[in-house]
Structures are given as structure tokens and as C-alpha cells.
């Protein structure tokens, strides 16, 4: 029996990848960097290590994720209107899950302060028991450690957990943790979503899937 739903954040709760990508393209173009869509797809849903590797290659050894995003925030301002990019019907799904007694957490590769800030901004913080951040682990997704720890803290077996993901790295991590995976379909960033158990286009589809998964 499924007892918990674990949500990724970027690309699952909010359509953040499109926000980040537009700013990043503007920034890299201003810097005169030569890059391809494949370069950007390789970091979508990735960790600081993925970003560091790309930025070092494009901009020099002194430019990693922290340096680049600090400059971007200074230049463009930090994006704040997270409610405007929250996915449709997400809150209805979460309210339904709460009503049915599912436990819910967020497990994201993003930094903890970003998770806390964004989940509060979209007014969903009261629904989640706790958050796990990729910065808490030696290796983030696709390493399954974050999902293994999620089950441990929930006191549940992996078979009792459902993960909602979108990226190649996130789906792989959840599969390696032996959890059921629902992927929110996204063909904009070159994700391989083939390992997911189910693909959805709309969060209203999840209710019917839960009946099947039980």
C-alpha cells in the first residue's frame, strides 16, 4: 500500500527551468560564451557539479555555479513571483492527497534555503512534513541517497513511496531507490523519462493512477 508521495521541486512544483534557462541564455550571450542547446539540456535538473563543469568550460576556472548565479541575480534581480509558475491543478492534487491520508515531503537537488523560500511562496509549506536538499548529501541525484533517506525519515519501505519527478537525473535516482515513479511529461529540455512507471500531462491524472498503484 502506498503511504507517501515525495515531490521534486523544480519542474514538478514550479516551472522553474524555463525561468532559469531564459536568464542563463541572456547571461551567457552577454558574456560571449559559445554554447548549444545540448549544453543547457545537460544541466537541466542537475546539481551544482553539473553547473560547475559547464561554467568552468564556457567561462573559465573561476566561474562556478555560485559565481554565475550571484552575477545573474545582481544583473537581472532574483526571480520572486513563484506562484505565477506553479503548475496548474497542483494544489488540488496536494489537498486531495492530504485528505486521503498520504504523507508528503519535498526532496530536491536545490539548496535548502531555496526550497523553503519557494514552497512558502507558493503557499504549500503547511502540507509537507519536511524537506530534503541535495546539499545534504555527498552526491545528489541521480544518486538515490536523497530518496533512500526520505523513506528512512518517513519510517516507510521504498515500496510504500511514490515519487513525482521530471528530469532524467531525478527519475533515475527514484528508480534506483526502488520507488514508484510518476513523471510530469516535459519534452523541452531533452529529458529521458522512459524509466518512469507513469507519465502524466496534468496533475488531475494522478488520482486515477493512485487507484491503479494501490
Mean pLDDT of all residues in the chain? 94
How confident is the model over 182-202, as a mean pLDDT?
Answer: 96
Between these two residues, 211 and 44, which has the higher pLDDT value? 211
The residue ranking higher by pLDDT, 79 or 7, is 7
Predicted local distance difference test score (pLDDT) of residue 170: 96
Q: Which of 87, 84, 75 is nearest to 12 (CA)?
A: 87
Coil, strand or helix: which one is 134?
helix
Per-residue pLDDT, averaged over 144-163, amounts to 98
Question: Which pLDDT tens digit goes with each residue over 12-59?
Answer: 999 988 888 889 999 999 999 999 999 998 888 777 888 899 999 999
Q: What is the pLDDT of residues 21-33, one digit of tens each?
A: 889 999 999 999 9
Neighbours of 102 (CB within 10 A): 16
pLDDT interval class at 9 (50, 70, 90) = very high
Average pLDDT over every residue of 107-123: 95
Query: How far apart (Å, rounded) are the C-alpha atoms in residues 178 and 162?
Result: 10
Q: Length of the chain, please?
A: 214
For residue 27, what is its C-alpha cell?
A: 547571461
Cα distance between residue 144 and residue 133, in whole Å: 13
Tell me the C-alpha distance between 13 and 19, whole Å: 13
d(CA 173, CA 46): 12
Active site residues: 8, 10
Amino acid at each position: 500500500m502506498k503511504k507517501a508521495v515525495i515531490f521534486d521541486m523544480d519542474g514538478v512544483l514550479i516551472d522553474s527551468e524555463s525561468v532559469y534557462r531564459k536568464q542563463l541564455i541572456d547571461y551567457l550571450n552577454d558574456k560571449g560564451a559559445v554554447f548549444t542547446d545540448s549544453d543547457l539540456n545537460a544541466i537541466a535538473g542537475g546539481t551544482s557539479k553539473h553547473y560547475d563543469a559547464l561554467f568552468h568550460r564556457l567561462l573559465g576556472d573561476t566561474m562556478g555555479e555560485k559565481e554565475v548565479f550571484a552575477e545573474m541575480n545582481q544583473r537581472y534581480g532574483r526571480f520572486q513571483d513563484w506562484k505565477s509558475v506553479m503548475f496548474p491543478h497542483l494544489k488540488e492534487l496536494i489537498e486531495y492527497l492530504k485528505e486521503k491520508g498520504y504523507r508528503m515531503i519535498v526532496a530536491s537537488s536545490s539548496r535548502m534555503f531555496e526550497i523553503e523560500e519557494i514552497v512558502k511562496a507558493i503557499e504549500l509549506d503547511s502540507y509537507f512534513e519536511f524537506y530534503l536538499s541535495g546539499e545534504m548529501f555527498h552526491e545528489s541525484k541521480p544518486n538515490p541517497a536523497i530518496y533512500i533517506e526520505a523513506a528512512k525519515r518517513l519510517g516507510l519501505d521504498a515500496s510504500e513511496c511514490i515519487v513525482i519527478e521530471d528530469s532524467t537525473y531525478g527519475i533515475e535516482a527514484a528508480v534506483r531507490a526502488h520507488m514508484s515513479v510518476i513523471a510530469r511529461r516535459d519534452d523541452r529540455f531533452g529529458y529521458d523519462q522512459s524509466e518512469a512507471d507513469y507519465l502524466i500531462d496534468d496533475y488531475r491524472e494522478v488520482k486515477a493512477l493512485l487507484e491503479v498503484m494501490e
